[in-house]
Chains A and B, each alone.
Chain A
Amino acid sequence: MDRYQFEDLISDYIENNLSMSQRKQVEAYLEETPEAKQQIESVKQVMASMKSMPGISTSAEFMNNLNRHISAEKEAKSVVKSTYSFAGYTPLMASLSAVVVIAVVMLGLEFMPESSNQATFTPTMTEQQINDLPALPANPNDSMLAESDEDSTNYDEDTPVKRNFDNKIQRVGNKRP
């Protein structure tokens, strides 16, 4: 073991954090190097001195100052809240809400069925006004139109012979001939 290896292990040696073999190596080095022993004692003394240094206390005004800072912080927070909010919304929240509403409306329009997206007819005249309108002049083709009113499913063929079934029909209570 050389000096540098020994120095790397000083703290672990003092705090008992070395393995058995490492500890033996250090002790062997200490046996043959008196300055090393002195160095160990010296480091131990430094550690003990640091441990025994008195604790430092805050001043008598410390708590008052801290309370003052906390009160100022609370006040500043409440001012910010009241200044930068409208109906409970901060500007950021209000902006985000507006964006969300616009996005929902846009999406709604996008997905709306086309038929229901068309304008509807709204009559501009009342029923009474419609009834009061002058009658239209007679159309010369009305007679033709009347003819054409006949059922278009009429057969062009000869009218089928109407057969009289009256004699053959027997009603309840009729006597057979």
Chain B
Amino acid sequence: MADEFSYTDEELIARFQDGDEQAYVELVNRYRNRLMTFVYRFVNDMEKAEDIVQDTLMKLYTHRHYYRNIAKFSTWIYTIAGNFAKTELRRKKRHKVTNLSQMGFDDREYQLPSVEPETGETAQGHFAEKKIQMAIQELPLHFRTVVILRDIQELSYEEISKIVDVPLGTVKSRINRARLQLQQSLKEFR
């Protein structure tokens, strides 16, 4: 079992491509929460985020042979999740334009599950988190993706550049602009 955890992502996907389904389970366990965090911060809807992560991991299952060992596995899987998330947001936007009066389940505010009774400090933490989450939603999509990948997922600039398929300089510039915009939005909240 200990050996299983020493496999790199790339070794696991190679094993899965050779028919080892246990390697798939291991990849799912490694990535489901990471992807969930990324997608939720992006679409701001728990149910939709979970659906998107499901779709992403299903695509990993059905399109396993499309992965080529020329890029990191994480780059590939984040690219798939990001594309699904963007498609969902575009669909949601179209839906909203046509149904302005129908505020449904998608528009509810997300609430973090409360594990322990909230003290003043934790309540303040949740409040701050909500404010940041709201500020992130105000960012244009091309800013939102890169700043989540950098400041929440803590990926390198190089990897982000590959995921969003734009030059490194553009990625750096977008992240800087996104931070400045977030700083402005959060200043107004205080």
A-side interface residues toward B, CB under 8 Å? 7-8, 10-12, 39, 42-43, 45-47, 49-51, 53-59, 62-63, 65-66, 69-70, 73
Contact = CB atoms under 8 A, between A and B. Distances in A.
A59 B48 CA distance: 12
Given A8-B176, A11-B175, A69-B54, A53 B152 contact: yes
Q: Chain A: interface secondary structure?
A: helix
A10 B58 contact: no
A47 to B, nearest CB: 5
Given A10-B176, A11-B179, A69-B54, A57 B152 contact: no
A54 B49 CA distance: 16
A120 to B, nearest CB: 55
Interface of B: 28, 32-34, 36-37, 40-41, 46, 49-50, 53-54, 57-58, 61-62, 112, 128-129, 132-133, 147, 151-152, 154, 172-173, 175-176, 179-180, 182-183, 186-187
Given A11-B179, A56-B36, A56-B40, A42 B132 contact: no
Contacts of A47: 151, 179
A66 B183 contact: no
Contact of A46 (B33, B53, B186): B186
A12 B172 contact: yes
Contacts of B172: 11-12
Contacts of A43: 179-180, 183
The 5 closest A-B pairs by CB, nearest first: A50-B151, A11-B176, A56-B40, A56-B37, A55-B37
B179 A46 contact: yes
B58 A66 contact: yes
Given A65-B54, A73-B62, 14 more contacts: A7-B176, A7-B180, A11-B175, A42-B183, A47-B151, A50-B152, A53-B41, A55-B33, A55-B34, A56-B33, A69-B54, A69-B58, A70-B61, A73-B58
19 contacts: A7-B176, A8-B173, A10-B179, A10-B180, A11-B179, A42-B183, A43-B183, A46-B182, A46-B183, A47-B151, A55-B34, A55-B37, A58-B36, A59-B50, A62-B32, A62-B54, A66-B57, A66-B58, A70-B61
A57 B39 CA distance: 11
Nearest to B38: A56
Nearest to A48: B151
A43 B182 CA distance: 8
Contacts of B33: 55-58
A65 to B, nearest CB: 6
